[in-house]
Chain A
């Protein structure tokens, strides 16, 4: 900063407005007696540049307000900073304001107001605003180095912030505008990728995030695509399995069918066998029946024949018997006749005999015979030839062979009575015949009777048989035909039975275990097949759905995008690394150069110190706090004068470094009170030399000391005050 003018009003001893309009760019000596306000000018300038307009509080009032007055300090200054003219103006306490203006085309135009104006001013001096209240030594920035004020003492303890600022500033100071331009360009490119703290910026992080998202997308789609490939492979395998299982199921189904059919066949065969057996049995029974019937029929026929024969025999025997009987009857008749004839003579006897009939009645139930009660078990014998049983019968007994009866039989005897002797002879002959014939006849009769009995028995048998065969219908021929048919049927049924038995034997053993096994095998295979079909259908559906997603096309687009992002990021990362390396290399170089500055400062300060104290003066060193020591003696332990001189030497060395970048205002407010005149002269020479790089403002109440500075701008503050 090169100060041009200052205007102060309502500030400490300047209750009225005062203006110092003409500060020289070189050496300015502001002189006046004690209390005229020399230091107040510098204090006012300090508040204008470093304090916020809004600062309030008793401390601010005490610092700024004229004693006993409630005025609002109003301060302004015109100065040049980095070749631009600025006007800064602030009012404190009541109605605070701040304004910074910059000259543009010969007209001051506002640059910032209020807080912004405060901030811009602080930035110019690399100062930091206090947390609250007025700026302290820690907040003076470069001014802590450049301004030797009475309040600070000859050499204040540099704050860490000052050191950082000075080092930064010296770092900038040791580089040229060209370097700064390059650094700025590097920084601009660097900021394309990094935040101020050196982390990847949002754009970079966004690109990284985009790449990660694209990578995840690719991985996700690739996984789905690979899953689809696995699906295809599984489906191909599953279809092969399905074909095999289908064949197996068909085989087992066929086997089951075969076993079932075999079972059915066997069952049918068994049934057929049973039917055949039944049919055979039926046919056999039928045959037997028919045969029986036939036999019966034959027997019946035979029986009928027998009967017929028997009947014929019977008839014959009956005839024979009849004949025999007739013969016997005739014989008997003849006999009777003989007897009768014989009896004729005995007619009377016979008749008489006949008149002597004795009847014995054995009643079975109580009856009345001729009014006689006859009880069962009490036979009644009557000698009579006639009885009467009322309501039952009248019984007359006559001797057989009566004449009447004879005459009935031999009516011709009526006309011609037989010759008894002839008859007797005839009858004797006949009797002889009969006697001769009678055994034959008797035998014949017996035989006939026997034959008749037999025939009757046979007839009865035959009748019985016929009765037995009463239900037999049909003729023997029919029955024979039926028997033949039944025999054929039986033969056929037997053949079928035998076929069925053969077939059953040929069919093997019980088919059920095999059928059960085949059924189980089919069940298992069919279940597998059903499961495989279901799984296949499911997979096919899944594959179709997956195919519809066009996964590979999606993957292609995503991979291309990812490749593009990867490539861009790789290039970006490479460039970012290169820029970061470049930036850090330059910063490191700056730091190293800056780190070497304390030694340089010490050397320069020593040179200045020796020009003041003599060439044999101990070399100055600068410790880590940038405070000088002389012959290892801290400056606080030097004499007052030497302390002033060492402080001056150090400040001047630092100020010169700062001035390499920009011309600064260095202030020395009665800084050499303890220095002897000879050394003051040396100091003045050094100041005069420094004026080539720095604007110098010397505040003194001994202006005569600086008479050798003939080109200095001298400002008599007392005189100036009088004019306002």
Chain B
């Protein structure tokens, strides 16, 4: 899956997903359910399919893989690759039916299109329930988010006779109906702003289910939005950044006032950022603090005059003027003239 917000670290982010998958297949369980969107698209590199199949094959038990809306079961899909037939413990769900699963029954149906307004679990409603433990697996959006969605809407109610419904599509972990159905989410965070991704779920299924949330993500995605009002707040931010591991992707959004004396702290924050896998700082809404004394400290003449005018423009919302003032602040500080 692409990592468009990861800049030059994108390749590392994509590799981390494979590395984490290679780790999590070592977890012990009776079966591994992959609830869709294993691949972001059917036109991915064929070598990647080989890799993923090889990783899943290392799981010590049966693996059930569900075609999702990003990798639907269509002509020329990833599921046509011969790798899926080379590993006896991997079953790709190619038709809507019951599958034997270590004494239990798995009910699953593949998705065959990217968008649909149909509930992919509708076929379960009238299906006679097999004896014993019944598990289902599906891919779509649980209702309530957008009833008119084309993202394969799934009714949110608990289904009679199905002890657990494993869900795919959302990237963050979410549990419904007393653990009767749940999204594990992605095993690695995929972009900034995800609520609770980078997990897998180990579910003990019975008359009542127990869900163990296992964090698996090895990369840390940190998105920080701060409004700086007082001196010292930038230093707090700097201290926070110092606690982050190098395998982090950091995005900082700053607005508010930058006091001249703290300009070096901002530069230091940028220095710290360069240690991370990926670092961006947006501070177009950060203004030099309204201390007239600072402009007074600038060399008299054109610089002071220009600074005053830029300040006035920045206060009127001109972000370019604000950024120009920050540059002037940085240059003046470096030149030792203010």
Contacts and interface: CB of A to CB of B under 8 A. Distances in A.
Determine if chain A interacts with chain B. yes
Nearest to A587: B302
B76 A546 contact: yes
Contact of B306 (A185, A556, A559, A585): A585
Interface in A126-167: none
Q: Which of A179, A547, A585 has the most C-beta atoms of chain B within 10 angstroms of its own C-beta?
A: A585
A182 B335 contact: yes
Contact of B41 (A178, A552, A581): A552
Nearest to B40: A552
Given A178-B299, A182-B328, A582-B328, A553 B44 contact: yes
Interface stretch (A227-235, A341-349, A614-622): A227-235
Q: Which of A551, A557, A582 has the most C-beta atoms of chain B within 10 angstroms of its own C-beta?
A: A582
A571 to B, nearest CB: 8
B303 interface: yes
Nearest to A235: B75
Nearest to B4: A563
A174 interface: yes
Contacts of A231: 76
Nearest to B3: A560
A546 B45 CA distance: 11
B323 A228 contact: no
A590 interface: yes
B76 A585 contact: no
B301 interface: yes
* Chain B at the A interface: SS class: helix
B29 interface: no
Interface stretch (B6-14, B87-95, B201-209): B6-14
* Chain A at the B interface: SS class: helix
Contacts of A189: 327, 331
Nearest to B39: A552
A585 B48 contact: no
Given A550-B43, A556-B2, A560-B3, A186 B331 contact: yes
B337 A182 contact: yes
B324 interface: yes
B302 A593 contact: yes
A548 B76 CA distance: 10
A551 B43 contact: yes
Interface residues of A, number: 56
A559 B76 contact: no
B320 interface: yes
Contact of A553 (B43, B284, B303, B328): B43
Q: Which of B5, B298, B324 has the most C-beta atoms of chain A within 10 angstroms of its own C-beta?
A: B324
A183 B10 CA distance: 39
Interface in A225-263: 225, 228-229, 231-233, 235-236, 239
Given A556-B1, A559-B2, A564-B8, A544 B306 contact: no
Interface string A663-701: 000000000000000000000000000000000000000
Given A582-B324, A582-B328, A589 B7 contact: no
Interface string B180-210: 0000000000000000000000000000000
27 contacts: A174-B302, A185-B331, A186-B328, A186-B331, A232-B75, A232-B76, A232-B77, A235-B74, A235-B75, A235-B76, A236-B75, A540-B76, A543-B76, A550-B43, A550-B44, A552-B41, A553-B44, A556-B1, A560-B10, A563-B4, A574-B323, A577-B323, A578-B321, A579-B327, A586-B302, A586-B303, A589-B309
The 9 closest A-B pairs by CB, nearest first: A578-B323, A552-B43, A550-B45, A589-B302, A585-B306, A552-B41, A553-B45, A556-B2, A560-B10
Interface of A: 171, 174-176, 178-179, 181-183, 185-186, 189, 225, 228-229, 231-233, 235-236, 239, 540, 543-544, 546-553, 555-557, 559-560, 563-564, 567, 571, 574-575, 577-579, 581-582, 585-590, 592-593
